[in-house]
């Protein structure tokens, strides 16, 4: 089971729009993808589950994938998070 830890770098954290982006990426892969933050787990195929993590700026996300294309899914999810959910320009005042 491939795993990795990434840190949220966008100011707004894992909010509705970023969770929706994460689900869109997760849905491209036929595997299980789970995020853990401070002991709480969430399925990456559920916007509500991801938002319930309440993962803000600086929080570490532990990502685990299992199944077909697990390595590719892990890389894609990590890339999205490490890009700040493509919102870093919005964080600049």
Active site residue 15: yes
Residue ranges of the domains in the chain?
A: 3-88
Mean pLDDT of each 10-residue bin along the chain, 93 residues long? 95 94 97 97 97 96 96 97 84 47
Tens of pLDDT, residue by residue over 3-18, are 999 999 999 999 999 9
CATH topology of domain 3-88: 3.30.1340
Catalytic residue among 15, 17, 45, 59, which?
Answer: 15
Question: So what's the pLDDT on residue 87?
Answer: 82
CA distances (Å), 48 to each of 26, 42, 54, 89, in order? 14, 9, 10, 25
Q: Give the Cα separation of 67 and 40 in Å (integer).
A: 22
pTM of the model as a whole: 0.89
């Amino acid at each position: 089971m491939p795993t990795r830890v990434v840190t949220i770098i966008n100011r707004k954290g894992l909010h509705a729009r970023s969770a929706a982006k994460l689900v869109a990426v997760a849905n491209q892969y036929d595997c299980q993808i789970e995020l853990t933050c401070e002991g709480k787990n969430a399925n990456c195929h559920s916007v509500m589950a991801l938002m319930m993590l309440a993962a803000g700026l600086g929080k570490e996300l532990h990502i685990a994938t299992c199944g077909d294309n697990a390595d590719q899914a892990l890389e894609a999810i990590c890339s999205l998070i490490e890009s700040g959910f493509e919102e870093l320009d919005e964080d600049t005042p």
